Structure 1
């Protein structure tokens, strides 16, 4: 009889009207459900880790393709030099009488240019392979300056022996990051005379740090008195170009058509101009700022770790951006669950914790969609499509489950705001922590006041609904 009465009552209730309040069980009480939602949020971090691993896997694949393109076109270029390299020996007399003998120790003296000027134009384009791309460039550089006559202290005995200078074996050495990418022959012009072609290799210097290079012989009559030089370089490269401040006084002037430069290295430019069509930058490094004497006795290319340069940064590295956004996933999911929870408490319909899980999975699927679409259409459009799809799906699902169009509209606004804030956080690295902390505080404040009248025990008062439902 009671069942027939309940059936008749339900049939008489207008569509969309919440059912009359019934005391909740323990697991369905607001307090317990709130705790279960928190546990569910933590559990959803496990699939987030899998998505993060997927992002890293795709990023590594992109790096592999970039290395493949660079291997064919040219890698990061490092212009280090020129240096005047002169081998010399020190002969030591050991023992006396019949047992007397001599030992010869060879060393290498390196003289830095008195002045060095590097100027060039770097034309950048994107080369694609499959769905991946890499900024590559063709550069025309000009190295000019002057070597002063070497100081008398350039060849000094280390152990009190006799010095013998191999004057006819002096060479001019220029280190180049990827010598395979040279697009024309390279020649040295001394004092405006006849150009002398370079030979491969760094001569008596070792290729420190894996650098390759070129060298050319310099007559003793030239280097002993000092000479001016000019070296034109035409070479390809990718990702970045670096220049070592090899001169006692060095000036560098670079221009490019790439509008997203990332200046890096041991020295930043004194002047830079960045427009939508490219950039221009100038460096000036005086002798004292370089921190290295005019001459060195070494068998390696100097200044490998004190270079200046520019990276050709892609406008959006979406792999890195998506990876960063996953760090905000717990707050992202928590805010969404909080909105659903408040809407549930203010309606007469129950939203099962499994339904909360489905909403969370839809939010995680957003990241997968964003990754997949960004590889094809770019980050901005991919974010708009993925966020729109996730917002529409969850808003319709929550609204239909709670039998309330207003609940669906509220979820649309809430999710649109969350996705908008997440997009802003990903594009504002400097203030991301500040923005995130302010949003977390505001979300906590709203939660405290919106849930203030909720009967967390769920028992209510017999014969009427809790205050939250009455509201």
Structure 2
């Protein structure tokens, strides 16, 4: 061939494209496994209970105002009844919730889902209940209201295990449903009609045991709302419109406290107007404009997600994104051995080395379904490093050349593991490491005569033969 260097570069470019295609197939496998896990989480939620949202306690009463309107003239004149239906609500002046969430891991096949058992002690206090007094809008109208109902709405009523309501030291029976047009899932108790005229306030205590999946949200309905939550789960993710005013996260669990005033939230007004309570996770991936629109259309809330930071599929997906960098750096290292030691490495050997690098990511995702991620990573990395070091010793002509290449690849795997554990500083650490590699390549090749490279390689020997014969 007239220019073997260009032929070699073209072959390496074709091999790189082929390996990129293989990496793409591996990424598809990881995404498929992620979808299976999402389907598992949805299956557990369908069979047990989904994410929970607490709205209440609050008191409401459905009313109808009717009046007569005269129509027609003379003998055809008659009265037609018109009516207006509306809902009266009374929000608590003071709302206190003390809760503890015990985690319960559920699994289907290879996939595990975090569920929780929440035990909550909820205290609500009302002052004046004047908001339950209907006000006529038409002179001479007739007013009819249903009994006041104290309600507690939840996201998924299937998760209610036990509930007990005490109203001013009197236990009231609870019934399913809320009779609220918007927040219909939950429980309620009918109150005596006399509470409308009560001026010395009202106090209710609710003991609630509730199970749910992965996430718990709350709406701050009180004039003053105080929520305290503790759990043995060490990886909470706080979201929603309000972060905790105090929080302590340790290896054995977390404690968080929210203190909110009605002056800082529109939750009372939102719930009174029937706004829906949105899932914080549903808008997390949307763009800024869509998220802002969702916030306007949703009631204020805050939430805790019991996330798994070592989700093997998320980490495997992140690792696979570094596959191109692994292949490029390894090819550069092999190319340096070719250049500095006057060797010739066949494109097929490059292909085999790249294939071994790609197999690491497939090993990682498959092993992490059965073993802890750290153990899976160590096994996959060790297997690939040993294989590549053994093969490089023959490809480059001696053990003294294969071992350093294997050590370099082991260093890459170590760096990748560090990057996977980092979140905020992953970019800067990766950028610094890549700069150091580039600097090393430039230093090692600083005296290379690139114009004279092709003639110099004319007499080079194959890596599988004895290089001393060159």
Q: TM-score range by the shorter chain?
A: 0.7 to 0.9
Whether 2:106 is the aligned partner of 1:133: answer: no
Q: Does 1:172 align with 2:121?
A: no
Map 1:18-417 → 2, pairs under 5 A: 25-26=1-2, 28-29=4-5, 33-34=8-9, 36-96=11-71, 98-151=77-130, 155-156=134-135, 160=138, 165-184=143-162, 186-193=163-170, 195-207=171-183, 212-225=185-198, 226-292=201-267, 298=273, 305-417=299-411
**Do the aligned partners of 1:205 and 1:301 also contact (CA within 8 Å) in 2?**
no
Distance 1:402-1:196 versus aligned 2 partners, 3 A rule:
same
CA contact under 8 A between 1:248 and 1:294: conserved in structure 2?
Answer: no
Separation (CA, whole Å) in 2 of partners of 1:430 and 1:235 = 35
- Partner residue of 1:3? none
2:55/2:221 contact within 8 Å kept: yes
Q: Distance in 1 between matches of 2:267 and 2:66?
A: 28
Change (3 A) 1:463 1:54: closer
Q: Mark the CA change 1:461 to 1:318 in structure 2 (over 3 Å): closer, same or farther.
A: closer
Computing the radius of gyration over CA atoms, which structure comes out larger, 1 or 2? 1
1:221-264 CA deviation, whole Å, 9 max, x = no partner? 12432410001101222212222112121100011111221222
Deviation digits for residues 74-124 of structure 1 (CA, Å, limit 9, x no counterpart): 322211111211112233544445144221121112221111001111111
**1:56 deviation in Å?**
1.0
Say whether the 8 Å CA contact 2:333–2:405 is kept in structure 1: yes
Looking at structure 2, the residues matched to 238 and 174 of structure 1 have their Cα atoms a distance apart, in angstroms, of 19
**Partner Cα distance (1:190, 1:341) in 2:** 80
Q: Once superposed, what is the RMSD of the aligned Cα atoms? A: 2.8
How far has the Cα of 1:367 moved from its partner?
Answer: 0.6
CA distance in 2, matches of 1:451, 1:105: 86
Aligned residue for 2:205, secondary structure, equals: strand
Taking the aligned partners of 1:180 and 1:110, their CA distance within structure 2 comes to 25
Structure 2: distance between partners of 1:258 and 1:191 = 35
User: What 5-or-longer segments of structure 2 have no aligned partner?
Assistant: 279-297, 462-466
Matches of 1:277 and 1:396, distance apart in 2: 44
In 1, are the aligned partners of 2:342 and 2:460 still within 8 Å (CA)? no
Q: CA deviation at 1:137?
A: 1.8
Answer whether contact 2:246 2:258 (CA < 8 A) is retained: yes
Residue pair 1:122, 1:256 contacting (<8 A) in 2 also: yes
Q: Are the counterparts in 1 of residues 90 and 131 from structure 2 also a CA contact under 8 Å?
A: no
Report whether the alignment pairs 1:460 with 2:438. Answer: no
TM value normalised by structure 1:
0.85
Secondary structure at 2:368 match in 1: helix
Deviation at 1:168, TM superposition (A): 4.1
Q: Secondary structure of the equivalent of 2:343?
A: coil
Number of residue pairs aligned between Structure 1 and Structure 2: 438
Q: Find the aligned partners of 1:169 and 1:108 in 2 and give their Cα distance.
A: 12
Deviation at 1:358, TM superposition (A): 1.2
Write the deviation string for residues 125-175 of structure 1: whole angstroms up to 9, x where unpaired: 3223322212222221111121222346974556x5666554442211211
